[in-house]
A and B are shown apart, each in its own frame.
Chain A
Amino acid sequence: MMDVGRHPRIKLFAYSEVEHISGFIGNFNVKIRKKARYVIEDECTACGDCTKDCPVVVPDEYQQGFSSRKAIYIPFPQAVPSAYILNMEECLGNNPIACGKCLEACEKKCIDYDMKDEIIEVEVGTIIVATGLDVYDPTELDEFGYRSYENVITSMEFERLICAGGPTAGHFVRPTDRKVPRTVAFIQCVGSRSGKRGNRYCSNICCMNTIKDTLLLYDHYPETKCKVFYIDIRAFGKGFEQMFMRSKEVGVEYIRGIPGEVVEDPVTRNLILTVENTTTGRVEQHEVEMVVLSVGMEQRSDFDRLQKMLTLSTTGDGFVLESHPKLKPVDSPTRGVFYAGCVESPKGITESVVQSSAAAARASIILNAGRVKIEALTARLDTSLCNYCGMCARVCPYHAITPPDRKLGIYPEIIEAACAGCGTCAAECPNDAITMRHFTDAQIMAQIDAILEEKPLEKIVAFACNWCSYAGGDNAGTSRLQYPPSIRLIRTMCSGRVDEKFVLYAFQKGAPLVLVSGCHFADCHYINAVTWTQRRVERLWNKLERLGIRPERLQLEWISAAEGQKFAKVMRELEELRKKVTPEEVQQTREILRREAEKERARKAKRVEALRSA
């Protein structure tokens, strides 16, 4: 931290918040709110004279509320910059000055009650998101008595109590009598691995953290006995299993089972844990002097603001989604934005350092090169066809299109460096003003033509996205799974590219059945483009019904790259549906759509005419 603060090429914005981010890789503009700290940072020598006289006493959040601080304080001893902060919400008042003691006490006169928040703008080429985590709050789990009993603490609180810089100067004492406990129980997976309360995922570090804590305790207090209640111990890192063994050797008792109840003996203030020991199959009771709840990790509760600013996607558990879990594990789907640490998933220090180094390296490659290479799959705009509707800018998951302004005659602009090539804009543009490089309308229509050239009644036209459903087909193939040969795949980068007109064209050309397939929502490789696919298919179902065509003939499926089995199963099901479509039905559809196409052509000609003359 100190090194970062002193580094000539690192500018640290402490006590600040990101307000707004715009731009794209190489050209991000970030607005930062530097909050007023009411102490002139560069002048303050952290002598602490001010804090001595401050009459306001509040719980110290850094010490988990085990000790107190004043309204003017330094958050923690190693804080960078090493300067005091005045919390104006806790201060007795600055307008008018109600107390002014700190101002009097500060010899250097670095206290400024009139200081205001500052908005700072910075231009950066890349962004690394390393926002950290929140710790699970166990108050909802009544059975562990965290709210009722003082001697039940969390693993975070344990850290403060055992730390030499903590409120007890490293003397581990139990809160009720300030005595070193002779028995301590650790309860694992609090808030983790639960389908009902807390989170479903494993928080990754809690097992090892507890093992470390027990060893620390034995080191400091050899006579203290530790019991660990667990589901299973996950000690899979380098040297971790040895550490686990060592804790067993020094006498830590491991009991497989999570207590269903913790109650306090009102006289001794000891805690009695009732647990089903799943190794012996017996219900047991254990009396201990203190309980430590090994709490899990969560995404920060205020993360959604930043998520929106950077158009980041998250998985169901709230952690950010990587551009590719194996090949681009520190890249976000938005170019030039990288991840480090627990924002991506719960992880320990080593893994966080590895990931941060990787993110820094990825970012510096771009900065050093000064230019980026992108795949030639981006969108291109023909302004002569654009009527400023702004649909493209609305649907782009990457904010890669600047919104048009009809009044000022400003067309949308596609920022190619930010465009990921999903094709959603091209599919949604009502005027066909956007062309996708290498996935043009003409190219896709030509594939439909080729598929349906011969025996169209025996074919199913299936649109498959590059990353998931097409790869799911590959998976089915390499696993030698059988599926009917009637399926003909057309690959698009994203299902968001599948234009309404492709589907209608396939029906018009005699396709009995059409499938649109893409990634599951949580796996979408283009942030949320898949939601536009869903909307479009729903629109199409309504349209087909209105035209007198059975909506069942347009099918939708989300298939991941790993779901070869599902791919084959879906294709078999579709084949059954195809067999039920009669030649008469197909003929009737073609007739309906031919008439529709004629009408549409006339409408379009009028539109183009109007646009051109405008």
Chain B
Amino acid sequence: MPEKAKFKCLRCGYLYEDKYTPGVPQERACPKCGSNSVRRLEEKSTSPGNR
């Protein structure tokens, strides 16, 4: 099931939210600069299922 996640472009620093399906790698491009160096920022969560 796709969920929302935060992403950061490691080229231009742009932060944005996008759909994300856990375990399914997807080609991503920064909406601002077009770079593929897009990293999903892990939510710092305390819930046991999300360690």
Spell out A's residues near B (CB within 8 Å): 520-522, 531-532, 534-535, 538, 541-542, 551-552, 554-558, 570, 573, 577
Which B residues contact A (CB, under 8 angstroms)?
10-11, 25-27, 33, 35-40, 42
Given the known interface contacts A520-B27, A557-B35, A573-B35, the answer about A538 and B11 at a Cβ–Cβ threshold of 8 Å is: no
**What is the CB-to-nearest-CB distance from A490 to chain B, in angstroms, rounded to a whole number?**
18
Are B11 and A555 interface neighbours, CB within 8 A?
Answer: yes
CB–CB B39/A551 < 8 A: yes
**CA of A532 to CA of B24 in the docked complex: distance in angstroms?**
10
Question: In the complex, what residues of A have CB within 8 A of residue B35's CB?
Answer: 555, 557, 570, 573
Beyond contacts A522-B27, A531-B25, A557-B36: 11 other A-B pairs, Cβ-Cβ < 8 A, are A520-B27, A535-B25, A542-B42, A551-B39, A552-B10, A555-B37, A556-B37, A557-B35, A558-B27, A573-B33, A577-B11
* B11 engages A534 (CB within 8 Å): no
Give the distance in Å from the alpha carbon of A568 to the alpha carbon of B39 in the complex: 22
Our pick among A532, A542, A552, A556 for the contact of B36 (Cβ within 8 Å) is: A556
CA of A521 to CA of B28, assembled, Å: 10
In the complex the two chains form, what is the Cα distance from A538 to B39 in whole Å? 7
The answer for the CA separation of A455 and B11 in the assembled complex, in Å, is 24
B39 CB contacts on chain A under 8 angstroms: 538, 541, 551
- Inter-chain CA distance A25–B37, complex, in Å, is 37
Distance of A558 Cα from B35 Cα, bound (Å)? 9
CB atoms of A557 and B27 under 8 A apart: no
- Of B27, B37, B40, most A-chain CB atoms within 10 Å: B37
Note all chain A residues with C-beta closer than 8 A to B27. Answer: 520-522, 534, 558
List the B residue with the shortest CB-CB distance to A528: B25
Count of A-B contacts judged by CB separation below 8 Å:
41
Q: Which residues of B contact A542 (CB under 8 A)?
A: 42
**A551's contact among B10, B26, B36, by CB below 8 Å, is which?**
B10
From A532, which residue of chain B is reached at the shortest CB distance? B25
Chain A residues with CB under 8 A of B25: 521, 531-532, 534-535
Q: What is the bound-complex CA distance between A532 and B11, given in angstroms?
A: 21
- Contact (Cβ within 8 A) B10 A538: no
Across-interface contacts of A552 in B (CB, < 8 A): 10-11, 37
Residues on the A chain within 8 Å of B37, using CB: 552, 554-557
Return A585 CB to nearest CB of chain B, in Å. Answer: 15
Q: Nearest chain-A residue to B40 (Cβ)? A: A538
Shortest B14–chain A CB gap in Å is 12
What are the nearest 3 A-B pairs in CB distance?
A: A531-B25, A521-B27, A534-B25
Query: How far is the CB of B11 from the nearest CB of chain A, in Å?
Result: 6
Complex: chain A residue closest to B10, CB-CB? A552
CB distance from A587 to the nearest CB of B (A): 22
Asked if A573 meets B40 with Cβ closer than 8 Å, knowing A534-B25, A535-B25, the reply is no
Min CB–CB distance A568 → chain B (angstroms): 14
B25, B38, B42: residue with the most chain A Cβ atoms closer than 10 Å: B25
Which residue of chain B is the closest to A531 with respect to CB atoms? Answer: B25
- 29 contacts across the A-B interface (CB closer than 8 A): A520-B27, A521-B26, A521-B27, A522-B27, A531-B25, A532-B25, A534-B26, A534-B27, A535-B25, A538-B40, A541-B10, A541-B39, A551-B10, A551-B39, A552-B10, A552-B11, A554-B10, A554-B37, A555-B10, A555-B37, A556-B36, A556-B37, A556-B38, A557-B37, A558-B27, A558-B36, A570-B35, A573-B11, A577-B11
